[in-house]
Amino acid sequence: MRCLILPGLLTVALTSAALADEVTIPTAQGEVSVAADPKVIAVLDMAAIDTLQALGVMPDGRPNELYIDYLPDVEEAAAPVGTLFEPNLEALAVLDPDLIIIGGRSAGQLESVSQIAPSIDMTIGIDLISDAKARLSAYGTLFGKEDQAAEMTAALDEKLAKTREAGKGKGSALMVMTNGPKMAAYGTNSRFGWIFDATGLEEASNGLKGDTHGDAITHEFIAEADPDWLIVLDRSVAVGEGGQSAEATLKSPLIAETKAWKSGQIIYLDPASSYISGGGYRSLSTGLEQLAKALNSVSEN
């Protein structure tokens, strides 16, 4: 009898352990249950890598090119397993990860990579600040670093409060991304809407689309909007392309007459972290610090 009971108890114990080792976390596709503290992970989203690295979690697989200059340890330690858009399924199979994390540019590959290993989509959407905090909290739960994630969230909240205070009474802004000689503007309902949320600056031009690529604009458009602040991101620099710089693209007699240009109130965001890893912990922290510093450098209008 004793020999018959023990195997049953062992089965129950193993089942309970398995359940205890599983966590449920929010993702871009809703709540998903995955094995806790996966030992081998492949990550094909730069915002995720940014946050995980800040949390002290080193991925084992990464995109072929990182673009971000503050992640040399990730580039050295992790194996390349595809681009930001296309995973290399063979490389992923060789890595044999316990978990694959995708998001943003690679989000459409969820079904494909799920054939290799359990996979989650951790895309950060338009509500960037809220999503960034949610992803950080989820990673804390996943890797047993809840206390550290909570401390990091508190640090973000403190920087956010300082940025909002710095932006009080500072007028309007136009968010512009240049791509060589081309320019696009982004409003509150866009991938860069977090900037207006974080600063409290008003939109210099209402009705801009929430499209990923923004609204194509001209020098005349910027002159007509006449913002108090120009917030600029140079995409060409972000992706390592040559060509005309953002400064050169913006240089024109029309823009020179705007309030922003005359007052020197032009903020050039860090290109790579703002464009490639937007919503990552370090990217967001740096962006908030940069905005607060610039806004605090002038007196209220």
Q: Residues 175-200: pLDDT tens digits? A: 999 999 999 999 999 999 999 999 99
From the number of C-beta atoms within 10 Å of its C-beta (0-12, 13-18, 19+), residue 279 rates as buried
Nearest-CA neighbor of 210 among 248, 163, 175?
175
Q: What domains does the chain contain, in order, with CATH numbers?
A: 22-123 (3.40.50.1980), 168-296 (3.40.50.1980)
Quick one: how far is CA 49 from the chain centroid? 9
Write the DSSP symbol of residue 82.
Answer: B
* 3 state DSSP class of 116: coil
Q: What are the residue ranges of helices labelled H in 143-184? A: 146-167
**Taking the complete model, does pTM exceed 0.85, yes or no?**
yes
CA 53, CA 159: separation in Å to the nearest integer? 20
Q: Do the beta carbons of residue 119 and residue 61 sit within 8 Å? A: no
CA 65, CA 75: separation in Å to the nearest integer? 8
Phi, psi for 246 (deg, rounded to 5): -60, -40
Given this model, what pLDDT does residue 298 score? 83
Task: Please report which confidence band the pLDDT of residue 159 belongs to, taking 50, 70 and 90 as the band edges.
Answer: very high
Task: Please report which confidence band the pLDDT of residue 79 belongs to, taking 50, 70 and 90 as the band edges.
Answer: very high
Q: Do the beta carbons of residue 189 and residue 132 sit within 8 Å? A: no
* Residue 1, pLDDT above cutoff 50: no
Q: Do the beta carbons of residue 227 and residue 208 sit within 8 Å? A: no
Q: Two tokens at 113?
A: 């990579």
Task: Please report which confidence band the pLDDT of residue 144 belongs to, taking 50, 70 and 90 as the band edges.
Answer: very high
Task: Please report which confidence band the pLDDT of residue 299 belongs to, taking 50, 70 and 90 as the band edges.
Answer: low
Length of the chain, in residues:
301
Given this model, what pLDDT does residue 209 score? 78
Rounded mean pLDDT of 46-67?
97
